[in-house]
Amino acid sequence: MNPQHNEFRDSVKKIYQALVLVFVAVSLVACFLVYGMIDPGFSAFRQNNSVVDYTVVDEDENWDKIENGIHLRTGLIEGVGLMETVNNCTNCHSAKLVTQNRMDAARWPRPLTGCKKPKIYGT
């Protein structure tokens, strides 16, 4: 082989190695940027020392407890039809749905027509 051919081969090899190095560097930067878009807080690289404390409450203890005229589990006011409302409505809906509508007994039958158990207020 001739010396010019060897020089050319060495220069092509150096260019190839440089291109591979640039490709790897660009790929690493691209992966880092994509990960930064997916998880901006980089939470996989942080140590999570937070401990969540759970309070275990006996279900029977406060299940239907009423204090100062308020049903503690739902926040509904004690009155006629409270337990019927708790038993029929809060199985499927939050008690907030009942309180946010602020309807009286005369207006409730119409929304209750779509419920599975609309037998509240003697309707």
Query: Is the sign of the CA dihedral 72, 76, 81, 84 positive or negative?
Result: negative
Q: In the chain, where are the structural domains located?
A: 3-44, 62-112
Per-residue pLDDT tens digits for 27-72: 999 998 998 888 887 777 777 666 677 766 566 666 678 888 888 8
Residues 76, 82: Cα–Cα separation, whole Å: 7
Query: Which pLDDT belongs to residue 74?
Result: 82
Q: What is the DSSP letter of 114?
A: T
Query: Which pLDDT belongs to residue 17?
Result: 96
Residue showing tokens 């010396």? 3
The model carries a pTM of 0.41
Per-residue pLDDT tens digits for 81-94: 788 878 878 878 88
- For the chain, the average pLDDT equals 79
Res. 120: pLDDT tops 60: no
